[in-house]
A = this chain, B = another copy of it.
Amino acid sequence: MDKLSDLLPGKTSTDPEDLLCYGFDSSGLEAPPTAVVWPQDVTDVIKVIKYAYANRVPVIPRGAGTGMTGGAVPSKGAIVLSMEKMNRIIEIDEENLTVLVEPGVLNGKLQRELQRRRLFYPPDPASMNFCTIGGNVAENAGGARAVKYGVTKDYVLGLEAVLPDGRLIRTGVKTAKGVVGYDLTGLLVGSEGTLAVITKIRLKVLPMPQEVITLLVFFKELEKTGLAVTQIISEGIIPRTLEFLDKETIKAVENYKPIGLPKDIDAMLLIELDGVPSVITKDAEKISGICERLDGEIIMAENEAAREKLWEARRAVSPALFHISPTKINEDIVVPRSKLPEMLRILKGFSESSGIRIVNFGHAGDGNIHVNLMVDRNNKTEYEKAVKLVEEIFRATLELGGTISGEHGVGLTKKNYISMEIGPDELELMKKIKAVFDPTNILNPGKIFP
């Protein structure tokens, strides 16, 4: 790889320590690359891609490595193209409510810059303070606010990207609408770095909501949590977040960081409303009424400090889970919202019959459950049992009209399950689209497809 470092002096490394640092993501999988490159601009990206194309070397575009399904884990002999230094916010167009960013800008950083101008970019994956907008676009990231505001794809207006042979393309528009030709932008969003390397992103933003109210509700029965969710939406109220934590999650949080959550509850909901103060106050009252009738115990926060306190439990979930077992098999199934109680019952049954601890939390408003199987990878019997259970969970999810991934994508960890959801003809179309963009299969090979 000497030639690569000649091409991009000072921006390339083959130092074993760097290779280790860029060989994994949040899936827990790892495989060191043969080189890491930190492009500074699109010209650098094109140089790397042309080099890789000429030498038939795999290239793995990488945001911050917070992906859950191994999308950024290198394949054999690969160059990691770490986009972290292409992190400029190029333009904030306040008049037209759009921003132009490089892929390496952190989601949280963009949020803060917009906030200062009283603007708002809704997608907020749990990793928002670490993850990049480029990674969000590649994975079509969701977040807690998706129930009201949708996911990343709903905000991407246009892209600049480098094709696997080094050609630069521009897709989409700068305007609110545009219907000229096929939607290449939409195709690149969620393509998990397999079709092109994204180098610029034009996003739609919104005016900042006037005010936010946060509610925490404790329920004695899991069943009633699901009922509360359905009844809130049936009232015509769309909260901006509608998160739930089950009993096992609450226990894990309390063990990791005692917050003082009640011990005798079965589940809790974290509900956030945003909009005009008078309206959300009334909506909060309605929600309180619904939850009280379902024996929920309610805490309300109307200022930033109180709100932060209520979010404490939700934010502690991820680190807490890392403390309760050596391995966490982390899925993100979605079922139609009305099927949430049924799915939670099924998961409880699976846990009881298999003896495997299952911890559930997630975006109840979307029917999106983060299902965590707590095991030990070194305990072969247990681990294999858990892997089998994942398949059963996916089967039950699909039978209820759901999907096996609402946010995390397929990557490496789900590629052997993709055929459970996507039929052979649809998969064939996708593979042929991959071949249109990347005929020599150098861009993030081995991902998505079995």
Cα-based distance from A97 to B237 in the complex (angstroms): 12
- Which B residue sits closest to A152, measured CB to CB? B179
A183–B153 contact, CB under 8 A?
Answer: yes
Partner of A95, one of B163, B230, B278: B230
Instruction: Choose one: B93, B140, B175; the contact of A402 (CB below 8 Å).
Output: B175
Give residues of chain A (399-448) contacting chain B, Cβ–Cβ below 8 Å.
401-410, 414, 418, 421-423, 425-427, 429-430, 432-434, 436-437, 448
A175 near B336 (CB under 8 angstroms)?
A: yes
Known: A175-B406, A279-B278, A279-B279. A181 touches B426 (CB 8 A): yes
A436, B432: Cβ atoms closer than 8 Å: yes
Q: Which of A41-49, A184-192, A217-225 lies at the interface with chain B?
A: A184-192
Report the interface size for chain A: residues with CB under 8 A from the other chain.
90
A426 and B189 form a contact (CB under 8 A): no
Nearest CB in chain B: distance from A115 CB, A: 14
A 116-159 to B, binary, CB cutoff 8 A, 1 in contact else 0: 00100000000000000000000110100011001101100000
The answer, yes or no, to whether A263 is at the interface (CB within 8 Å) is no
**Residues in chain B near residue A169, CB distance under 8 A:** 423, 425-426, 429
Nearest opposing residue in chain B for A98, CB measure? B336
Contact with B along A13-27 (1 / 0, CB 8 A): 000000000000000
B429 contacts A175, C-beta separation under 8 Å: no
Instruction: Tell me if B366 and A407 are in contact (CB < 8 A).
Output: no
With contacts A181-B418, A183-B186, A436-B432 known, is A176 near B338, CB below 8 A?
no
**A419: shortest Cβ distance to chain B, in Å?**
10
Residue of B nearest to A337 (CB): B96
A170, chain B: closest CB distance, angstroms:
7
List chain B residues, Cβ under 8 A from A436: 429, 432-433, 436
Smallest Cβ-Cβ distance to A140: which chain B residue = B179
